[in-house]
Amino acid sequence: MIQAIDRAAMILLKLQGSRHLGITELGNALGLPPSTVHGIVKSLQQHGLVAKEPNGNRYMLGPALLKLSSVYLDSLDVRARSMRWTRELSRRTGLSTRLGVKLFNEVIIAHHDPRPDGSEQMLETGLSIPIHASAMGKILLAYHPEDLDDLSSTLRSLTGDTITDRKALRAELREVLDQGLATEHDEAILGESSVAVPVADQSGAVVAAIAVVLPSTEFPPPDGVLNDLRETARNISRELGSSVWPPTSPAPITE
């Protein structure tokens, strides 16, 4: 591992989530002297990967990252093949839809279709959610249980309903495999719930998850919505070359 690149990556990770941090704060968080952090931050700033607060001394993620993330999302085959299907799913259900892929310990929303009711809504494409607090993330973890070992020993709490106990999470993931779908009820954002199912590729591996999002007051969704969600995932998987849906479950998730 190249030390300078590793340190630069750690700085970018510390600044994620709209964080604004000063040189001293970054140094303390990474265990590095301020002079070292200052040099790396200045280099990142020159490339637009980090930006300095106007009239301030703290730093935040820079605009170049937005361009890079857009290029990455546009290169995803699963996103390109999903867009017309998720749009139709949103139209048929009247709900917001998300397509998510794994990014370290998070799920990044590769594509988002807002509710087709004409209301003002935030575009979520490119946003990320902690993997354990997302229905999409539970799908990806259930079908790739080896990734459970990469999770932090402490699962971050976003609301009072977020699963923070690893044993409880494993128990829920076993239910996900039994049912072929995952749910999230007020675990990431209060008042918001979702249901997700897997998307598989030509090899049969689960490469993404698709979800419908609804107000928690309307949870659980009716069977018609779940049927539409499953059919959408089946169609996307077929376009990716998968001959079987739902995907084959992996080895059992142990304690």
Whether CATH 3.30.450.40 fits 69-239: yes
Give the pLDDT confidence of 96-120 residue by residue, as tens digits.
999 999 988 889 999 999 999 989 8
Averaged pLDDT for residues 129-155: 91
Token code pair at residue 232: 């959408």
Does residue 122 surpass a pLDDT of 90? no
Predicted pLDDT at 64: 80
Token code pair at residue 171: 């128990």
Predicted pLDDT at 230: 98
Does residue 66 surpass a pLDDT of 90? no
Give me the phi and psi of 105, to 5 degrees please. Answer: -100, 25
Predicted pLDDT at 1: 63
Give the pLDDT confidence of 163-187 residue by residue, as tens digits.
999 999 999 999 999 999 999 999 9
Token code pair at residue 107: 């799920």
Which of 19-33, 69-83, 123-137, 212-226 has the weakest average pLDDT?
69-83
Q: Looking at the chain, which residues constitute the CATH 1.10.10.10 domain(s)?
A: 3-62
Among the listed residues 215, 248, 226, the one whose alpha carbon sits nearest the alpha carbon of residue 182: 226
Does residue 17 surpass a pLDDT of 70? no
Percentage of the residues of the chain whose pLDDT score is greater than 90: 68
Q: Looking at the chain, which residues constitute the CATH 3.30.450.40 domain(s)?
A: 69-239
Predicted pLDDT at 89: 98
Q: Can you tell me the distance from the alpha carbon of 152 to that of 143, in angstroms, rounded to the nearest whole number?
A: 19
Predicted pLDDT at 19: 80
pLDDT category of residue 71 using cuts at 50, 70 and 90: low
pLDDT category of residue 75 using cuts at 50, 70 and 90: low
pLDDT category of residue 3 using cuts at 50, 70 and 90: confident
Averaged pLDDT for residues 211-219: 97
pTM higher than 0.75: yes
Token code pair at residue 194: 């979702």
Predicted pLDDT at 54: 87
Predicted pLDDT at 116: 94
Q: Which residues contact 75 (CB under 8 A, 6 or more apart)?
A: none
Whether CATH 1.20.1370.20 fits 3-62: no
Give me the phi and psi of 245, to 5 degrees please. Answer: -150, 135
Predicted pLDDT at 76: 80
